[in-house]
Structure 1
Amino acid sequence: MNSKQLKWVLLIGLALIWGSSFILIKRGLVGLTPMQLGSLRILFAAIFLLLIGFKSVFKIPKSQWKYIALTSLFGTFIPAYLFAIAQTEIDSSVSSILNSLTPLNTLVLGTLAFGLQFKRNQIFGVVIGLIGSALLILNGAIHNPQQNYYYAILIIIASICYATNVNLVKKHLSNLSPLSITTGNFLVLLFPALLVLLSTPFFDTIHLESVQHAVLFIMLLGVVGTGIANIIFFKTIQISSPVFATSVTYLIPIVAFFWGMLDNEMLTPVQFLGAFIILIGVYLSAKK
């Protein structure tokens, strides 16, 4: 298989994995608290990545470990808990759509804080994306009064964290290999995530069948949805381009939506319109 074919296979595989992450979080929350879920997700990913990439961390210069710590905080630690907390109140499909705002936030932060240049159509894209988000959230709140749509703000904050991470990596860690960055991130997070887990009554409830089933879902999320997915993502960048790799943003909500349908989640027609408007905004903001 040549590189042109392989990049499409990897992109589709990545969309299937990341698009399925939201339903795995939902399943994990059946037996776990959000803090337990976030911690276990990080711990399972950390163990997996350290097993396959421990030697790569020795290639990280001492001067860059502060940026490794920052990217681990914004790229993984904070979002892992925010997504888990948010999905206690909002549907997994809505969560995945709002996650699509990451490219828009990357552009805004890159412009405001990192000195990146932008074009007029990209500004239009940001505005359109925000309109779509408002439509999605407000209509969802009206038609789902049993859900607290203020929790959607947590997903937006998580997408801002992801955007910060992307800009930090681009500016300060572009000389390191993807495996070094990723493994370094999770080495930094290993003990903080363990401390958070130990602060919960997780080990007092591990004997419960519901907790054990939830742990299996989060093990799958940590190893496949975080560890292996990161490797696939960076491999896709290497054989194509960052622009092509980040186009997975358009596919993730489609996969998540179908998982949501199987789990009896349904968007209103207005929410569908909001999701479509968001994707138009993402497209315009990424278009050169």
Structure 2
Amino acid sequence: MKNINTKWLYLIILSIIWGSSFILIKKSLLGLTPFQIGSLRNVLTGGILLIFGYSSLKQIKKPQWKWIAISGFLGSFFPAFLFAIAETEIDSAVTSILNSLVPLNTVLMGVAVFKITSTRRQVFGIIVGFIGTAILILKGSEINPNQNYLYAGFIIISTLMYAANVNIIKRYLQDVKPLTIAAGNYVFIIVPALIVLLFTDFFSASTFNSETIWTAILCVIILSVFGTALAKVLFNKLIQISSPVFATSVTYLMPIVAVIWGLLDGEAFTPMQGIATLIILTGVYISNTRKT
């Protein structure tokens, strides 16, 4: 009973943290470029996690280091850039809804890569989910003709990466502590992120002449501390005390938080997009519940 209550608590906390991340990325883009946001976010997060988790790295076994590295790049490094790039063209609320494809892709990834047998119910759920995604993208392009909805592809690529990361942690890193996994990830991430940051002209005078730069940096700091460092540890723990399906179901709740933030910030959200959202979540639910 205690474990059940704990996993639900983690799920709710993560949905609030990650659901708020999309509006923070949007506000960060007012003063920084997508590559500055992604690299700065990775550098700050890496610094935090290595300070608190460096001493535990010796617990990682030699064969596990390759999975730690792959997990880091798929679960943190690349998505930090891809989400920022996507939000240069797509509203934060729509981005969060597309992110709810993670559980569907977790099932697909399990079948394609990890050889986990799928059921007809799961296949049907995946089809329903993609129908909802198509409607969401098409309707979004209609009400926002100035936005390039091809950028939704960056989010879909990220959800595939997240799905792979979840399966890797569950299958190969189950016995490694969540903080140790997170810190180990950034052993590989922090240097490439710093190199990217140096090439983005972040440290130039022109960057800091912007009136919105400090607000943008504050948003990235909040993203790094809560949206990545803390959330990554909590999510790794959630994967270990539950299942990949339950852990990725955090994406069911994130859109609720993100849509509220988006509406408060003046983003357009039509009833048809709401229906598309429900179709996506229905597909996710169908593919991740067993027939009783």
Please, what TM-score do these two structures have when normalized by structure 1? Answer: 0.95
Deviations for 1:163-221, whole angstroms, at most 9, x for unmatched residues? 12122223322232222211100121010000000001111123544112111100100
Aligned-partner Cα distance in 1 for 2:111–2:287: 12
* Aligned counterpart, 1:22: 22
* Aligned counterpart, 1:55: 55
Which among 255, 276, 279 is matched to residue 277 of structure 1? Answer: 279
Tell me the SS of whatever aligns to 2:176: coil
Aligned-partner Cα distance in 1 for 2:181–2:274: 37
- Counterpart residue identity of residue 170, structure 1: K
Q: Is structure 2 residue 222 aligned with structure 1 residue 220?
A: yes
* Aligned counterpart, 1:287: 289
What pairs with 1:28-177 in structure 2 (closer than 5 Å)?
28-177=28-177
Cα drift, residue 242 of structure 1 = 4.5
Contact 2:169 2:236 in 1 (8 A): no
Q: Is there any run of 5+ residues in structure 1 with no aligned partner, and where? A: none
Q: Is there any run of 5+ residues in structure 2 with no aligned partner, and where? A: none
Deviations for 1:243-277, whole angstroms, at most 9, x for unmatched residues? 44333221100000000001001212211111110
* Aligned counterpart, 1:257: 259
Cα drift, residue 33 of structure 1 = 0.3
Deviations for 1:99-150, whole angstroms, at most 9, x for unmatched residues? 0001111111110111111111111010000000000001111121010111
Aligned-partner Cα distance in 1 for 2:201–2:171: 40
Cα drift, residue 47 of structure 1 = 1.1
* Aligned counterpart, 1:181: 181
Q: Which stretch of the first structure deviates more once superposed, 181-190 or 25-34? A: 181-190
Call closer, same or farther: CA 1:236–1:257 in 2, change over 3 Å.
Answer: same
Aligned-partner Cα distance in 2 for 1:134–1:81: 23
Aligned-partner Cα distance in 1 for 2:187–2:222: 19
Aligned-partner Cα distance in 2 for 1:35–1:237: 29
- Counterpart residue identity of residue 211, structure 1: I
Cα drift, residue 65 of structure 1 = 1.6
Q: Which stretch of the first structure deviates more once superposed, 30-39 or 64-73? A: 64-73
Cα drift, residue 241 of structure 1 = 4.9
Aligned-partner Cα distance in 1 for 2:85–2:168: 25
Aligned-partner Cα distance in 2 for 1:158–1:48: 23
* Aligned counterpart, 2:247: 245
Q: Which stretch of the first structure deviates more once superposed, 172-181 or 273-282? A: 172-181
Which among 221, 234, 238 is matched to residue 232 of structure 1? Answer: 234
Q: Which stretch of the first structure deviates more once superposed, 232-241 or 167-176? A: 232-241
Q: Kindly report the root-mean-square deviation, in angstroms, between the aligned alpha carbons of the 2 structures.
A: 1.7
Tell me the SS of whatever aligns to 2:221: helix
Call closer, same or farther: CA 1:164–1:243 in 2, change over 3 Å.
Answer: closer
Q: Which stretch of the first structure deviates more once superposed, 173-182 or 130-139? A: 173-182
Aligned-partner Cα distance in 2 for 1:269–1:208: 37
- Kindly, what percent of the aligned residue pairs are identical? 53
Call closer, same or farther: CA 1:45–1:82 in 2, change over 3 Å.
Answer: same
Aligned-partner Cα distance in 2 for 1:174–1:240: 11
Please, what TM-score do these two structures have when normalized by structure 2? Answer: 0.93
Aligned-partner Cα distance in 1 for 2:73–2:237: 23
For these two proteins, the number of residue pairs brought into alignment is 288
- Counterpart residue identity of residue 273, structure 2: Q
Contact 2:102 2:248 in 1 (8 A): no
Aligned-partner Cα distance in 1 for 2:70–2:9: 32
- Counterpart residue identity of residue 78, structure 2: I
Cα drift, residue 232 of structure 1 = 2.2
